Homo-oligomer: A and B are copies of this chain.
């Protein structure tokens, strides 16, 4: 149970990127031909996992970065009292594991949401390769920065948004990521459970269900189990941008916003 990443899974031989369907969407897309062989050499494993199995657990020594090849993965932290906060969902082409660099151990758990395959890259080899390839160096930093930016947006969501707005944002976010890897942006299958969504958005499962039901009744989505069809994207978009259900959504710029009111206090200082 505590035996690290290995689980009961079989480790497969390392295939090359040429046969990978997400090659053009993952880190590999940012590597110059000149360094491509060495890049592939930094990938030391391709792991296939079944639903529910761990890629790593919080506290395990850091060493690898992970890129989803197929399927989907979640990362989550668990608090001392057992609450789970899902910190990210990862689709094909997306990279995770960056949170482990600082302390030298992963700070979250990574779990397969469905059967999936994941490439493992040696972080040390990657950054030493990055010392030769400025392009890869920048590419890696972009990934890290994006991860910060994503969590930053997520903080905004958690801090200031209603349950409906969170859900709308979540669905639209998934839609655009599916689109990016060639799937439909309006019809898709959720790889995660309602509980996972709840733990990601910081709400209860019941609220997740209720909001989805409400969306369906309002004709914004259709849903059958984990199949989702976005029907009224505009409405979702509008919802995702409003803090809460404001009675009068005036056109942008018409009124002074909460923050501009507040920042007046700053603007007034020392001018």
Contacts and interface: CB of A to CB of B under 8 A. Distances in A.
Given A131-B131, A152-B107, A158-B202, A146 B102 contact: yes
A15 to B, nearest CB: 23
Nearest to A85: B156
Interface stretch (A214-222, A225-233, A263-271): A263-271
A172 interface: no
Contacts of A242: 81
How many identical subunits does the complex contain?
2
Contact of A81 (B87, B200, B201, B241): B241
Interface in A136-195: 137-138, 141-149, 151-156, 158-160, 195
A45 interface: no
A184 B160 CA distance: 33
Contacts of A13: none
B145 A137 contact: no
A82 interface: yes
A11 interface: no
Nearest to A49: B270
Given A202-B158, A258-B84, A111 B152 contact: no
Given A52-B270, A111-B266, A144 B101 contact: yes
B260 A82 contact: yes
Contacts of A82: 257-260
Given A52-B267, A83-B259, A149-B99, A134 B141 contact: no
Contacts of A266: 51-53, 111
Contacts of A243: 79, 81, 83
Nearest to A158: B158
Central interface residue in A52, A107, A138, A146, by most chain B CB within 10 Å: A52
A76 to B, nearest CB: 8
Nearest to A142: B102
Contacts of A80: 241, 252
Interface string A250-264: 001000011110110
Given A102-B143, A144-B148, 7 more contacts: A79-B156, A79-B160, A80-B241, A81-B241, A84-B258, A87-B156, A130-B131
